[in-house]
Amino acid sequence: MKTVKTLLFSLITCLTFVMCTDETPDLSDVALFVSPGSETRVSIASGDKAQYKVEISTIHDCISRFTVSSFDNQFGQTVYLDSICNQKNITWSFIYSAPETDRDSLDVELKFSAIDNIGNTVEVTRSVLVTNRFISLSEKTGIVLYDPASGMPDAISLGDVSQPFILAAAPDPALADIYIESDPDFSSISWKSNTKTKFIRNNSFNYVVATAANINSVYHGSVREDYVSDIRINDIILVGHGDTAEGVFQVTNIIRNGTVACMQLSFKGIKQH
């Protein structure tokens, strides 16, 4: 029995040694750091630039090659840098220039990769949203949200703002991007969300000539709130989720007279690609 245990121990030790040899590259042997980090989605307008700080190192002799490329569904793959080198540590700034696009916006994945002299590789990706600074967004008008006490539609999904729904009767109320809360006479109106929609009221924003680029600029440069209260006629409210702007509303009318109270809205949305 002792002999069997000894043989098993020797076999496990041998397998462990084989698995840890240089025949199986250890990704931790090469370090690649890119700033901004993966938690930040960079948003820039077409023609603008974004800077990334890149640091590469290896515990072996040197980094032998590093590349930077991008991929999107309009231009496909673009290689920006493919460099043969012979350095142990590399630090440099990569400047990304956003392409001109005929779309409202374009999702781009940047890929940074490096390989050392014995074949260890590492890859890091970053997400970029490129917005078209020139295209004015199409508008959806005639959107109506009612007083919740009326039993009429009082909630909305940003996926299709033309189809408001009754929050209390919805199959899944958790999908309401925006819903109304109000006092009994509809004199004080708030927007809240079940999907962590972020709100920015900015009545100096030029709704008439709204583009994806200027919506993104204001959205990323403003304090985002979890709700917006005391909504009034002509209020302009930008909306999004996290770091992603999704559009802008204009409150065109609020009706408090008669049997049914409601608010009328127009919306310009950013199409994500």
Q: 40, exposed or middle or buried, with CB in 10 Å at 0-12, 13-18, 19+?
A: exposed
pLDDT at residue 39 greater than cutoff 90: no
pTM of the model: 0.65
> pLDDT value at position 24?
42
Q: Where residue 272 falls among pLDDT bands split at 50, 70, 90?
A: low
Q: Is the separation of the CB atoms in 106 and 72 below 8 Å? A: yes
Could you read off the pLDDT of 192-202 as tens digits, one per residue? 999 999 999 99
More confident residue, 12 or 173: 173
Could you read off the pLDDT of 212-233 as tens digits, one per residue? 888 988 999 999 999 999 999 9
Residues of the chain above pLDDT 90, percent: 70
Could you read off the pLDDT of 224-270 as tens digits, one per residue? 999 999 999 999 999 999 988 999 999 999 998 877 899 999 999 98
